[in-house]
Amino acid sequence: MSDDYAKAIPIPGPESVPFWEGAKNHKLMIQKCSDCGHHWFPPSTVCTGCGSRNIEWVASSGKGKIFSFVVFHRLYHKGWDGEIPYAVAVIELEEGARMLSNVIGIPVEEVKCDMAVDVVFEDATDTLTLPKFKPV
């Protein structure tokens, strides 16, 4: 935790508050349809599988795999100065939902599609926790 956090601070939309509150408590919250069982992310107000409005927030196991990834070699934001190269990935959680995050704890050269990963929670500031992913 740091007062001089230089990276972008997300501005949650009204539907995303449970996700960010969950992250602060080190839970990876995603949405689930109470009718068809479909899981999805990012948040919406209807099931993206069947259209039902009978939906709930649930904690994901945090286990998944890297669906795809890129490695940033160019600085687009001063907050990442000194961290180039870094990996940004689309993570497919075992519940089926996909989300954007970083792959950490491994050299970028070793990141591969379909690699098994597990969530880790990075407390970025006193009020912001980011779910990131580490190879299992």
Partner 1 sequence: MIEPSTHLRDKYALVGAGHSRLGKVPGVSAQGLLEEAMHNALDDAGLTTQDVDGLICRGPDEIYTFHQVMGERLGIDASFSTTLTNGGASQVMGVALAAMAIDAGMASCVLVGYGRDNWSRVHANKENHMRGSGRPQQMYGMEFGPEFGYYGAIAAHGFGAQRHMHDYGTTREQFGAISVAFRNHALNNPDAVMKKPLTMEDYLAGRMIVEPFGLFDCSLQTDAAGAVVVTSTERAKDLRQKPVLIKGFGTGNNTSGWFNYNNMTHTGAIQSGKTAYAMAGLGPEDIDYAQIYDCFTYMVLVQLEDYGFCQKGEGGEFVASGALALDGAMPTNTSGGQLSEAHVEGMLQVVEGVRQLQGIYGPERQVPNAEIGLVSGHGGNTVCESTLILGAA
Task: Report the residue from 3, 4, 56, 114 that binds partner 1 according to the rule CB under 8 A.
Answer: 114
Binding part of the chain for partner 1, among 28-36, 53-61, 97-105 by CB under 8 A, reads 97-105
User: How far apart are the two ends of the chain, measured CA to CA in Å?
Assistant: 25
| Cα 103 to Cα 123: distance, rounded to the nearest angstrom | 16
Q: Is 13 a residue that touches partner 1 (CB under 8 A)?
A: yes
Q: Does the protein bind partner 1 through residue 57 (CB under 8 A)? A: no
Q: What track of x and - describes contact with partner 1 for positions 22 through 41 (by CB under 8 A)?
A: --------------------
Please state, in angstroms and as integers, the Cα–Cα distance from residue 63 to each residue in 38, 98, 127, following that order. Answer: 17, 11, 24
Residue span binding partner 1 (CB under 8 A) among the ranges 26-34, 54-62, 94-102: 94-102
Stretch that binds partner 1, among 10-18, 24-32, 52-60 (CB under 8 A): 10-18
